[in-house]
Amino acid sequence: MIRIAVTGAAGRMGKFLIEAIQHNPNLKLTAALERPDSSLLGSDAGELAGIGKNGVKISGDLRAVLDAFDVLIDFSVPAATLDNLRACASAQKKMVIGTTGFNPEQQQALQKMMQGIAVCKASNYSTGVNVCFKLLEMAAQVLGGEDYDIEIYEAHHRHKIDAPSGTALSMGEVVAKTLGRDLKSCAVYGREGQTGARDRNTIGFATVRGGDVVGDHTVSFMADGERIEITHKASSRMAFARGAVRAAAWLHHQKAGLYDMQDVLSLKENRLK
């Protein structure tokens, strides 16, 4: 039985993670974390998630429960994730990271702290989205970038704090890498005013925020006479939770290193020839 800890256990994603763990016969929730100032500390994590009492009390101190789990699943905010990773690295605990929105300085700190332990970090843990990553690689490889304009559209709920989404950026990185481009230099984030004719070497991003949209992503390859679109729409956070739980089960058996959901699903082994 693999012992799992979840951060943000009383939040929307945390509740889905706890439910997904409950449905996996090889995993057991043994620790649940919330902010130290949360009014829910001491509450039963299972009861909060709507699956009935499971005896796991919400804690506000990760370091106090380091001996209680094998893998930590963290979908929180960059600063908290960095602190949690620091604790896990010191205790040689494995970690699944679903947090997005790291700035360059935080990314550097993240890379440094991930040395020596097994970490799975992905912008999106949905199995469907990760299949889309593979489809995008294939599309970019076959279509090329000379005849097709590439645009990425994403929509999320009003509460999302980073833009474009980590998933949209990952989609852009997959396409740019396949085409031999640097996303940092070819990305265009929104357009306004007299922008002139479109530069075909750019990859455009459009961001929408509103309502309770869980996550919509579309990548369009547009040429004269045709348009190819690869779309993923999430209707429930359970899609992300199931993938993260799958990643945790897989990560438990891996040696130290940095992995992503493509590794979990063995998609890196299936290259287009």
CA distances from 241 to 62, 73, 74, 92, 236 (A): 21, 10, 11, 24, 9
Contact 154, 208 (CB under 8 A): yes
268: CB partners within 8 A, 6+ apart = 262
Which residue is catalytic, options 15, 93, 94, 156? 156
* Amino acid in position 5: A
Measured distance CA(228)–CA(132) in Å, rounded: 13
157: CB partners within 8 A, 6+ apart = 209, 210, 211, 212, 213, 214
Measured distance CA(207)–CA(217) in Å, rounded: 10
- Judge whether 156 counts as a catalytic residue: yes
Measured distance CA(10)–CA(194) in Å, rounded: 47
Which residue is catalytic, options 160, 184, 217, 273? 160
DSSP string, 92-140: T-EEEE------HHHHHHHHHHTTTSEEEE-S---HHHHHHHHHHHHHH
Just list the catalytic residues.
156, 160
